[in-house]
Structure 1
Amino acid sequence: MPKRPPAPIYIRIDTQEQRSGIPDLLAAMPLVHIEVAPLRVGDYDVGGNPRRVFERKTGSDFLGSLAQGRLFAQLTALRKSRFAPVLLLEGDPLRVSHSQMRPESIRGALAYITAILRVPILPSSGPTESAHLVYAAARQCQVGHAAHGPAAGRRGASLSERQMQIVLSLPGIGPVTARAVCARFRSLHELLSADAAQLATVPGISPARAAALEQLLHASLPPSEGGKAGEA
């Protein structure tokens, strides 16, 4: 059997994270497709079931949120959502030079987050390591999960899962846009028959992308080479 091509990795990133440089680092990694948009919760959505979201904080951010009373409320809301949150902590809050918070209070907050709120903390030395950690998590949640769960073409895959895999295989279509495509078109037949004007009505598909998709979907298939009639 021919070897299956590597699966793409999709990561959704909150717009406020652009200044960190992490989105650019992720976009340069193998097979990664990023989508930068306002996220309702978290800073990085790496998929999985349940969906994992990373809340990124530097050591200074962590102490500021803790001092202002926002940290526990924010993490509690994340914990109660349908997502599985992870706190990505850049730098050691105990080593922030300008902090006036007692070390015992900081350690107590870290213990409360992990032991009581049950939100895992993933330490990072900086943006570069954060990008690699987010990438590793996305790969585990998506590629690793797919390797053990129903995938397109497997007997256990449902009809809707196989349809979604086909939509996601189209160039430039990530998970969010794929859901918009499914909301716009009632069937794959309707999608494959759509022209550029119809495709451009889908949120997330630009006119240029719509024209490229129309050309792809409507072009003649290449002739088979050496195959016999009736062969699968």
Structure 2
Amino acid sequence: MPECSRPRVYVDEREKASPIPRLLREMGAAVIYTVAGVGDYIVSDRVAFERKTMHDLAASLFDGRLYDQARRLSEHYEVPIILVEGDPAELERVTSRALQVKLALLAISLDYSVRIVWSSGPEESAKIIYSVACREQALKQRPVVIHRKPRLEKLWMQQLYVVQSLPGIGPRLAERLLEKFGSIEAICRASIVELEKVLGYERAVKVYRVIHAPYTSSKAERE
């Protein structure tokens, strides 16, 4: 790995549960949490990583999130990278539609110029991110810039954005939910049975729980 003095890595808040930020700090990186909006690990003005396990890769393809994430990465960063953790040869064990996943990755590479990089696990992922951060910041002398999501000027864009924040909901499912129920308010009033008709049972339960469970702050959880 290239040597450098304390490279900065901006990490999306959603990655706090991952071991990678800790591993990056142990390697000497300065880890700065942010609400990135686009990308999970940002190491320069032109390079950002979206990290996925193989399970998340398959799930994000079939619920529509993968293409949306690839498109936004390519719109905001010159060198967008999807970092997949796992052995490609094991993909058949993760999903019965392994070929469809491989073809989707090829399409993303061709259509959005997204680099697909595989790692054996979090340790190797951290080494890859650290190495690229050093290369960009020390060797190329590039600044770190967070490119946030563009302004959502249309009401329907704002509505889709809100619904996509629900667990497991990508652009296609968000549009289907709004078309079926007519408004965000109606989605929030829907029962699990009603949500299941669009989302399937497991995803419907997760969405219903997020909407209806009492709020518990992170501070309260630590006490």
Shorter-chain TM-score: what band? 0.5 to 0.7
* In the alignment, structure 1 residue 75 sits paired with structure 2 residue 70: yes
Q: Secondary structure at the match of 2:16?
A: helix
Residues 1-22 of structure 1: CA deviation (Å, up to 9, x unaligned): xxxxx54311111111121110
**Aligned residue identity for 1:142:** Q
Which residue number corresponds to residue 105 of structure 2?
A: 110
* In the alignment, structure 1 residue 45 sits paired with structure 2 residue 42: yes
Give the whole-Å Cα distance in 2 for the aligned partners of 1:24 and 1:38: 18
Give the whole-Å Cα distance in 1 for the aligned partners of 2:6 and 2:48: 18
Which residue number corresponds to residue 212 of structure 1?
A: none
Unaligned 5+ segments in structure 1 are: 1-5, 150-160, 162-173, 177-232
Which residue number corresponds to residue 54 of structure 1?
A: 49
* In the alignment, structure 1 residue 22 sits paired with structure 2 residue 20: yes
Matching residue within 131, 140, 144 for 2:135: 140
Structure that is richer in helix per residue: 2
Alignment TM-score, normalising by the size of structure 1:
0.56
Give the whole-Å Cα distance in 1 for the aligned partners of 2:130 and 2:18: 15
Cα displacement (A) at 1:35: 0.5
Give the whole-Å Cα distance in 2 for the aligned partners of 1:83 and 1:39: 16
Larger Rg: 1
Give the whole-Å Cα distance in 2 for the aligned partners of 1:56 and 1:83: 17
How has the CA–CA distance of structure 1 residues 139 and 94 changed in structure 2, closer, same or farther, with 3 Å as cutoff?
Answer: same
Cα displacement (A) at 1:84: 3.0
* In the alignment, structure 1 residue 12 sits paired with structure 2 residue 17: no
* In the alignment, structure 1 residue 130 sits paired with structure 2 residue 125: yes
How has the CA–CA distance of structure 1 residues 58 and 72 changed in structure 2, closer, same or farther, with 3 Å as cutoff?
Answer: same
Query: Is the contact between residue 13 and residue 44 of structure 1 (CA under 8 Å) also seen in structure 2?
Result: yes
Cα displacement (A) at 1:100: 2.5
Which residue number corresponds to residue 31 of structure 2?
A: 34
Q: Secondary structure at the match of 1:8?
A: coil
Give the whole-Å Cα distance in 2 for the aligned partners of 1:74 and 1:121: 13
Alignment TM-score, normalising by the size of structure 2:
0.58
Residues 207-226 of structure 1: CA deviation (Å, up to 9, x unaligned): xxxxxxxxxxxxxxxxxxxx
Which residue number corresponds to residue 66 of structure 1?
A: 61
Cα displacement (A) at 1:107: 2.1
Give the whole-Å Cα distance in 2 for the aligned partners of 1:63 and 1:92: 14
Query: How many equivalent residue pairs?
Result: 143
Which residue number corresponds to residue 90 of structure 1?
A: 85
RMSD: 2.5
Give the whole-Å Cα distance in 1 for the aligned partners of 2:26 and 2:75: 33
Q: Which has the higher contact order (CA 8 A, sep 6+)?
A: 2
Q: Secondary structure at the match of 1:80?
A: helix
* In the alignment, structure 1 residue 99 sits paired with structure 2 residue 90: no
Q: Secondary structure at the match of 1:20?
A: coil
Residues 86-113 of structure 1: CA deviation (Å, up to 9, x unaligned): 1001114552424121x33122112112
Give the whole-Å Cα distance in 2 for the aligned partners of 1:175 and 1:84: 13
**Aligned residue identity for 2:114:** V
How has the CA–CA distance of structure 1 residues 136 and 82 changed in structure 2, closer, same or farther, with 3 Å as cutoff?
Answer: closer
**Aligned residue identity for 1:107:** K
Aligned-pair identity (%): 34
**Aligned residue identity for 1:89:** V
Unaligned 5+ segments in structure 2 are: 147-223
